[in-house]
Amino acid sequence: MKNRFIILFLGFTSVLFSQQKSPEKLAREAREDVREGNKLYNQLKFNEAEISYKKALSKNPSYPKASYNLGNTIYQQNRNKEAIAQFELVEKMSTDKISKAETYHNMGNSFMKEKQYDKAVDAYKKSLRNNSKDDETRYNLALAQEMLKQQQQQNKDNKDNKDNKDKKDDKNKDNKDKDKKDGDDKNKDDKKDKGDEKKDDKGDPKKNDEKKDEDKKQEQKPRPNQLSPEQMKQLLEAMNNEENKTQKKLNAEKAKGKQVKQEKDW
């Protein structure tokens, strides 16, 4: 971006009335302050130059050239918002098109540094309306338009990314809510089934009576392999007889001197 800051030469201007100093003396002192400010500006001593221009304006607040140079000095110190406000004041003071064109040009530069490309485009266009032959302003306008286009595209991309992220988050939330709802419904169904089972077992008097009758019959029915008292007596007698036979056999084997391998019954 091309920058152009012209330190305007002094010209005749009106002076304020003062009880202490004559208008002519105030005008002369204001011009001297501007000359000093221009000298400091060219030496890149912008802070000191700013003081000199403000001194000139304190003696003549409606001094357009001092106000314009003050705006340039503030801009050089990267106080862009202050510079914009100062150039707006200068534009209202300016009466000729060239001065307006220069003011809008530098105002556009200030907007560019603030990345307010839409306002920079507008300022450069106003500058060209007052001086259509200024190629530097035309170049800056083209640059500002390109930067504005890129900024708008970036903003659009950021918005699309945010919208996609929000949609994804909403979808994940919906899925979680659905899973939670399905889980709640399943729990409700399980509880309902258990409730129905309890109802079937306890809630139906007729079924309960049938179950009690069935249990009673089971208690009355002999268990599998259960023997009658008579059968038990016969079994015990048979076991005793078998044991007696075994004992007789063992005694006979001992009498012959033959070893017997005994089986443990535990």
Q: Under a CB-based contact definition with an 8 Å cutoff, are residues 60 and 16 in contact? A: yes
Does residue 200 surpass a pLDDT of 80?
A: no
Q: What average pLDDT score do residues 37-50 get?
A: 97
DSSP label at 222? P
Spatial distance between the Cα atoms of 69 and 73, rounded to a whole number of angstroms: 6
Phi/psi for 159 (5° steps) reads -65, -40
Does residue 12 surpass a pLDDT of 70?
A: no
Question: Which domains does the chain possess?
Answer: 23-153 (1.25.40.10)
Q: Under a CB-based contact definition with an 8 Å cutoff, are residues 60 and 66 in contact? A: yes
pLDDT digits over 61-73, tens only? 989 999 999 999 9
In this predicted structure, what is the pLDDT of residue 22?
Answer: 84
Is the pTM for the entire model greater than 0.85? no
- Residue 125's identity, in one-letter code, is K
pLDDT digits over 140-165, tens only? 999 999 999 999 999 998 988 887 88
* Structural tokens at position 232: 């038990």
Residue 147 makes CB contacts below 8 A (sequence gap 6+) with 112, 115, 117, 120
Regarding predicted confidence, which is higher, 30 or 214? 30
Question: Roughly what angle, to the nearest 10 degrees, separates helices 97-113 and 135-198?
Answer: 40
Confidence of residue 139 (pLDDT cuts 50, 70, 90): very high
